[in-house]
Amino acid sequence: MVMISPSLLAANFAILGDEVRSITAAGADLLHLDIMDGHFVPNLTFGVPVVKALRPVTKLPFDVHLMVENPDLYVEPLAAAGAEMITVHVEAALHLHRTLQAIKGFGLKAGVALNPATPLCTLEHVLSELDLILLMSVNPGFGGQEFIPGTVVKVASLRKLLQAAGVAPAIAVDGGMNRKTAPRVIAAGADIIVAGSAVFGAPDVKEAITALRGEHCR
Ligand code: DX5
Ligand code: ZN
């Protein structure tokens, strides 16, 4: 079944602990944590201390999406803070293979994120290292943006490419996911849906998560 990873970026930052408890109770599978440094993307969010502070609040695996200029700086501190998965951008990691090795060296799952304009061929030489491939379906930096429709074809191409290569990292899609767009990328082969505003902005968080999976709970 497809997994839902609510993005904390859309939560109420004044009550982060309560927000995390809420999506845990509502049946989320992972917690997506968007770390931005104001350099790789034109926005700042939060850093390792927030990840650490939230660790005792939930048992959900922490799916950290690093949108920073130098991801290597954060691998060890994030491992110590309790992250389970770290995803770095192929556009930011100067020595991508080394960074992935470092993540796995701490016993964590390693992911690579691709911006909308970045082709799938950039993954060719690291495919066997990956637990997760995150396709951005908006330009990274902000929540609440509109889904880029070309992502559907990109997901389908990635699914084919992985089959041909005989590897099986999870495919995640991040940005503009809602109850209309999520079923389209799921049908194309996505395993994980990352959603911020569609979850935290919903009046009924449990219903929102169920709807993103393409199921109906009532
Ligand atoms: C954007 C982040 C996303 C963001 C998604 O750079 O990577 O995780 O929170 O937000 P929505 O679901 O509102 O598009
Ligand atoms: Zn993200």
Region 179-194: mean pLDDT is 98
Determine whether 174 is an active site residue: yes
Residue 66 near residue 35, CB atoms below 8 Å? yes
Residue 93 near residue 102, CB atoms below 8 Å? no
Cα distance between residue 30 and residue 125, in whole Å: 27
Gyration radius of the chain over CA positions: 16
Listed by start position, the domains of the chain span 3-217
Q: What is the pLDDT of residues 38-91, one digit of tens each?
A: 999 999 999 999 999 999 999 999 999 999 999 999 999 999 999 999 999 999
**Which CATH superfamily includes the segment(s) 3-217?**
Aldolase class I (3.20.20.70)
Compute, in angstroms, the gap from residue 98 CA to the centroid of ligand 1.
Answer: 27
Q: Which atom of ligand 1 is nearest to the CA of 43?
A: 6
Residue 87 near residue 111, CB atoms below 8 Å? yes
Residue 39 near residue 70, CB atoms below 8 Å? no
Q: What is the pLDDT of residues 109-143, one digit of tens each?
A: 999 999 999 999 999 999 999 999 999 999 999 99
Cα angle vertex 9, ends 88, 66, to 5°? Answer: 10
Helix (H, G, I), strand (E, B) or coil at 55: helix
pLDDT at 218: 43
Residues with CB under 6 A from ligand 1: 7, 9-10, 32, 34, 65, 138, 140-141, 143-145, 174-177, 194-198
Helix (H, G, I), strand (E, B) or coil at 203: coil
pTM, entire model: 0.98
